Amino acid sequence: MRRIVVTGAAGYIGRALVDALRTSSASSAAAALVLTDRAPAPPALPAGAHWIAGDIADAALQERLFAEPVDAIFHLAGVVSGAAEADYAAGKRVNLDATIALLERCRVQAERGDPAPRFVYTSSIAVFGTPLPTRFDDDTAPAPTLSYGAHKRACEILIDDCTRRGYVDGRALRLCGVVVRPPLDNGALSGFNSDVIREPLAGRDYTCPVSPEATIWIASLPHAIANLLRLADVDTAALGPRRTLNTPALAVSVAQIVEAIGRVDPAAAARIRFRPDAALEAQFGRWPIDASFARARSLGLGVDPSIDVVIRQHLEAA
């Protein structure tokens, strides 16, 4: 039976990925899902799924994940931007050290003669840092200016190297802001990209920490999940030696988001006020509108058609 491991399975993206794996071609009836997160198991697990609660950086937990050969691993677990910046040791331990340890488990598995796992990693556009160029494409060089981004970039390089050596069949997707997240105090400095949509539409006043002129990259949860699954299925030869892709993103200004909210609920748009934080906006609100995601699009990864569609999906799901 094939074993598919998902780390960070209790998170916003993790839960949706697990649901999608139950019905996707990546998880047939002959596959077992091994799910892990710090949280205890949810009340209802998918048929054939096994939950292992614990810290992804703990060697004993990793041993349990690899107690039998792993065919594929979706590595989502991590300490997000603000939390990793506030606590360097915690961010390094989870975002860098734990990923290195998982890759080492994959190496051991491959060297004993079992198939090298397909290793699907959620990286981040935080690898680009500031200042950002006015135009972005697949050749824009990463230059992280947060510890979170530095650790993500280091993992991307290691995944390329482990793939070259045959320890994994690696692929990494640099996620942008995935919206519309529920309210969660997890230290994500870019959380305003969900808050500015969710809060006013829920009837609550919202003070936005970036200006209307701020520009951001976002993707809906359905598109983020579809792109992760698509990347997992891409033929390894089509990826070549550079295993990281920039996820196709919807590049919009905050003003455009407010206008779109106003088209469905003028009262909601009127609930938004602005109190810009210059440092926050410089790091998270200056993503170039002129952006190309040609490589990912050529491999079948998709993008949301418009901010209006993202908002409509959010309202339908609420």
* Co-location of 171 and 278 in the same domain: no
Rounded to two decimals, the pTM is: 0.95
Q: pLDDT tens across 136-151, in order? A: 999 999 999 999 999 9
Region 220-241: what's the mean pLDDT? 97
Helix 254-264 × helix 307-317 angle, to 10°: 50
The per-residue pLDDT for 186 is 63
Enzyme catalytic residues: 148
User: Cα 49 to the chain's mean position, in Å?
Assistant: 22
CATH number at residue 83: 3.40.50.720
Q: Which value, to the nearest 10 degrees, does the dihedral of the CA atoms of residues 109, 114, 116, 120 take?
A: -80
pLDDT computed for residue 78 by the predictor: 96
Residues 130 and 274 in one domain: no
**Residue 73 and residue 206 share a domain:** no
Query: Structure tokens of 3?
Result: 């074993």
Q: Are 232 and 118 in contact (CB under 8 A)?
A: yes
Residue 80: inside a domain, yes or no?
yes
8 A C-beta contact, residue 49 and residue 63: no
Q: Are residues 61 and 164 in the same domain?
A: yes
Judgement on whether residues 172 and 257 belong to the same structural domain of the protein = no
Residue 29 has pLDDT above 60, yes or no: no
108 plus 225 within the same structural domain:
yes
- Output the pLDDT for position 187: 63
Is it the case that residue 267 has pLDDT exceeding 80?
A: yes
Q: Give 166-211 pLDDT, tens digit per residue.
A: 999 999 999 999 999 998 776 677 899 999 999 999 999 999 999 9
Q: Which is nearest to 56 in space by CA: 2, 111, 103, 110?
A: 103
Of 20-34, 48-62, 124-138, 194-208, least confident by mean pLDDT is: 20-34
Question: Is 186 strand, coil or helix?
Answer: coil
Query: For the chain, how many structural domains are there in total?
Result: 2
Q: What is the CATH number of the domain that holds 275?
A: 3.90.25.10
In the block, which residue shows the tokens 């490589």? 295
Sheet containing 250-253: which strands, arranged edge to edge? 177-179, 215-220, 250-253
Same domain, 73 and 109: yes
* 257 and 113 within one domain: no
- Angle formed at CA 296 by CA 294 and CA 298, multiple of 5 degrees: 65
- Would you say residue 297 lies in a domain? no
Given this model, what pLDDT does residue 46 score?
82
The domain of 55 spans 2-176+221-246
In a shared domain, residues 164 and 199:
no
